[in-house]
């Protein structure tokens, strides 16, 4: 059971380049989320999904796209990278409805630098 996996671990982009951050989970979780972590700002929700085919925006969605074609995968796309998107990105998943089941499990993170 690998839990939540993210690739790549590190990435350097030039302004204007595009890329996809990959996230996968093997726990059959319905809910998946993307956060960015910036110093002094904690973790901020970018996009989330409550199941395959269903996504919605979080606090800071601009500049990012997501899709959820399978339960397991939830990729995050940067269409035209900007220096303001330099951050550490975390993917998380949780079971779904139910008070006892909403612990979020986090991936190891992707450190992205945009030059």
Partner 1 sequence: AQRVTQPEKLLSVFKGAPVELKCNYSYSGSPELFWYVQYSRQRLQLLLRHISRESIKGFTADLNKGETSFHLKKPFAQEEDSAMYYCALSLSGNTGKLIFGQGTTLQVKP
Closest CA to 21 of 36, 2, 6, 37: 6
Instruction: Pick the binder of partner 1 from 25, 31, 78, 85 (CB under 8 A).
Output: 31
Report the residue from 109, 110, 112, 114 that binds partner 1 according to the rule CB under 8 A.
Answer: 109
Residues 6 or more apart from 6 whose CB is under 8 A from it? Answer: 21, 22, 23, 89, 90, 91, 107, 108, 109, 110
Residue 27: both structure tokens together = 């726990």
Nearer to partner 1, 57 or 84 (CB): 57
Residue nearer to partner 1 on the CB measure, 14 or 40: 40
Binding stretches for partner 1 (CB under 8 A): 30-33, 35, 40-45, 48-50, 58, 90, 92, 94, 96-100, 102-104, 106-109
């Amino acid at each position: 059971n690998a839990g939540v996996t993210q690739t790549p671990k590190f990435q350097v982009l030039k302004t204007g380049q595009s890329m996809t951050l990959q996230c996968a989970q093997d726990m059959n979780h319905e809910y998946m989320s993307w956060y960015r972590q910036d110093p002094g700002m904690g973790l901020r929700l970018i996009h989330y999904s409550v199941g395959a085919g269903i996504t919605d925006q979080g606090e800071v969605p601009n500049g990012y796209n997501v899709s959820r074609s399978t339960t397991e995968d939830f990729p995050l796309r940067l269409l035209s990278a900007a220096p303001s998107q330099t951050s550490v990105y975390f993917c998380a998943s949780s079971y779904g409805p139910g008070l006892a089941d909403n612990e979020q499990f986090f991936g190891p993170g992707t450190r992205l630098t945009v030059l």
